[in-house]
Structure 1
């Protein structure tokens, strides 16, 4: 039924019908950003995926229709409208019924991507368990959908404002395998390491693709989380990052900001506290995770087409 409300772009439809690699993405980072830098950043990520031999498939809402794959005009419109609302799993029906134009979160994007048979998804930072969740119960729906949808999510760890230890515990509870691509540490989005170790470390894209292929072929529940840290030269020092996050969260608490509104407020405060270094880091990690996702998608597709076990 979801397909009845979904328009697949010609580029994405062609790639899927010809069994070529596709990388899905969310668009809240586009719709919630500042034009024209958000548009330029999205174009840079799409170009990086194309250059890596895959097709980008962004999920969005345009005039009350789900879009899987955006034309340049649709992408620019989404970037220009600067909508504060983002559509998660709970919001899909309401967004369709009100003809909304806005970005999607990881959770809703995973549903759309998986329904089209896409196996790889890229995002800079996955949602997770918030600091203080022991009392707030603030846990991202991203994790719930990752536990439901048969898809691999490639990211640079959980967003820096989250609790990495609790996020990993929740992933274990949900039975979601977490693998580090060339790292034994769970990345921290803007930072190389959160201080927490991942359950599995694999050194090459080939090994990660084999891992994902087996998970999906065996019909094990849910998806796989693949983590690839930000490059050292783009990362923010742990002590600077932690101080910025704590100050931003304290400011948000004072303002009564919570729920979906928390992330953009905190990220803006972190940008100010780091003199814009976090903006540079965010752009770098968007590209690096997208390239890693495209490389994995290529390996998965080669294995599927050859009929091998990778």
Structure 2
């Protein structure tokens, strides 16, 4: 059967040449930022990579076709059109119905892995939701990273989630988690969550070595690189804590339950923070895109050296 997805010429050429490539999700653009700021951000993220000699591979489903790498018109579409959020389970339905969708972390990692793109930059991961022991509400990001051989750079998970529960699930799924120059797992807007992780790495080259070792073992899981914001860029912790408590109380007062909780909390937090949380979101994304570009470059160099030695 023909391939179900399309790889752009720029991404295909880079992969064939062994040049660095970084996948970027589209949900952060379509649902995570207001218009027209979202288009500016999408273009900025790609430019950060291009200026570092890395090919960006923004991923989305357009008219039922999963696409790895978008042209300027494709990027504008995900920023300006109303699209559904597409997780892995939605992909075959969108394809059959020829509908467009912005890919979540789960779907982006899955498609990137299928296309051979090994590094992916996002803002924060989805995870185990508060009260999941009752609702069983857990992001598909976690189970997808258990099968997608992609290294994901993220600033941990949002503090509205159950961070300790998320780390426990990742351990159960045997997904390696390493902190970039830290052993304190970040909580998206904040540099530290207080939850400790076992391993840290000090350089992009060291992360590339972990990727190579993972390949040798043949496990197939992805790798999470927890990349905290520098303390001077994080949201002011006292304000963050106060707004989060206010948001949680409001959700409880309105009787919001299950899958509706997290979208409500995130929307409420943007308003209650006067937009400050969005500005931190952008700093997070930039920080992760830069590191992902460095990791992809180190991975490309390592792969090239290995091929030269085999020759």
1:53 CA drift (Å): 2.2
Which position in structure 2 is the counterpart of 1:190? Answer: 189
- 2:232 — aligned with what? 233
Q: Secondary structure at the match of 1:214?
A: helix
Moved more, 218-227 or 176-185: 218-227
Aligned to 2:70: 70
CA distance, structure 2, for counterparts of residue 5 and residue 211 of structure 1: 30
User: What does the per-residue CA deviation read over 1:47-85, in whole Å, with 9 as the maximum and x for residues that have no partner?
Assistant: 1111222111111011111111111111111111133x2
The 1:80/1:257 distance shift into structure 2, 3 A limit, reads farther
- Structure 2: distance between partners of 1:239 and 1:229: 18
Please say if residues 35 and 82 of structure 1, whose CA atoms lie closer than 8 Å, have aligned partners that are also in contact.
no
Matched, 1:299 2:288: no
Matches within 5 A, 1:132-211: 132-211=131-210
User: Following the alignment from structure 1 to structure 2, what is the Cα–Cα distance between the partners of residues 302 and 165?
Assistant: 35
Confirm or deny that 1:216 pairs with 2:215. yes
Bigger shift: residues 170-179 or 94-103: 94-103
Distance in 2, Cα, partners of 1:306 & 1:180? 26
Mind listing any 5+ residue stretches in structure 2 that lack a counterpart? none
Alignment size in residue pairs: 306
3-state SS of paired residue (1:229):
coil
Contact 1:179 1:199 survives alignment (8 Å)? yes
1:120 Cα offset (Å) = 0.7
1:262 Cα deviation from its structure 2 partner:
4.4
Following TM superposition, by how much is the alpha carbon of 1:187 offset from its aligned partner in structure 2, in angstroms?
0.4
Deviation at 1:256, TM superposition (A): 3.0
Structure 1, 44-53 or 69-78: larger mean CA deviation:
44-53
Describe how 1:79-98 pairs up with structure 2 within 5 A. 79-83=79-83, 85-98=84-97
Q: 8 Å contact 1:271–1:278 — kept in the other structure?
A: yes
TM-score scaled by length of structure 2 = 0.93
Contact 1:31 1:102 in 2 (8 A): no
Provide the rounded CA distance (Å) in 2 between the counterparts of 1:100 and 1:138.
26
Could you say if the C-alpha distance between residues 257 and 61 of structure 1 is closer, same or farther in structure 2, counting changes exceeding 3 Å?
Answer: farther
Aligned counterpart, 1:13: 12
Secondary structure of residue in 1 paired with 2:146: helix
- Could you tell me which residue of structure 2 aligns to residue 267 of structure 1? 266
Once residues 150 and 108 of structure 1 are traced to their aligned partners in structure 2, the CA distance between those partners, rounded to angstroms, is: 13
**SS of equivalent residue, structure 2 residue 186:** coil
Query: Structure 1 235/212 Cα, relative in aligned 2: closer, same or farther at 3 Å?
Result: same
Distance 2:132 2:59 in 1: 29
CA distance in 2, matches of 1:102, 1:289: 23
CA contact (8 A) 1:192 1:235 kept: yes
Q: Which residue of 2 aligns with 1:38?
A: 38
SS at match of 1:188: coil
Tell me how far apart the structure 2 counterparts of residues 67 and 37 of structure 1 sit (CA, whole Å): 23
Instruction: Please identify, of 95-104 and 36-45, the stretch whose mean Cα deviation from structure 2 is larger.
Output: 95-104
Q: How far apart are the structure 2 equivalents of 1:216 and 1:153?
A: 15
Note the aligned Cα RMSD (angstroms).
Answer: 1.7
Task: State the alpha-carbon separation in 2 of the partners of residues 98 and 302 from structure 1.
Answer: 41
Shift of 1:237: 2.5
Corresponding residue for residue 51 of structure 2:
51
The question of whether the paired residues in 1 share the 8 Å contact of 2:142 and 2:170 is answered with: yes
CA distance in 1, matches of 2:28, 2:112: 17
Query: Counterparts of 2:305 and 2:52 in 1: how far apart (Å)?
Result: 20
> After superposition, what is the alpha-carbon deviation per residue over 1:155-203, rounded to whole angstroms, capped at 9, x for unaligned?
1101221111111111111111110011111001111001101110112
The 3-state SS of whatever aligns with 2:264 is helix
**Following TM superposition, by how much is the alpha carbon of 1:271 offset from its aligned partner in structure 2, in angstroms?**
1.6
Cα drift, residue 255 of structure 1: 5.6
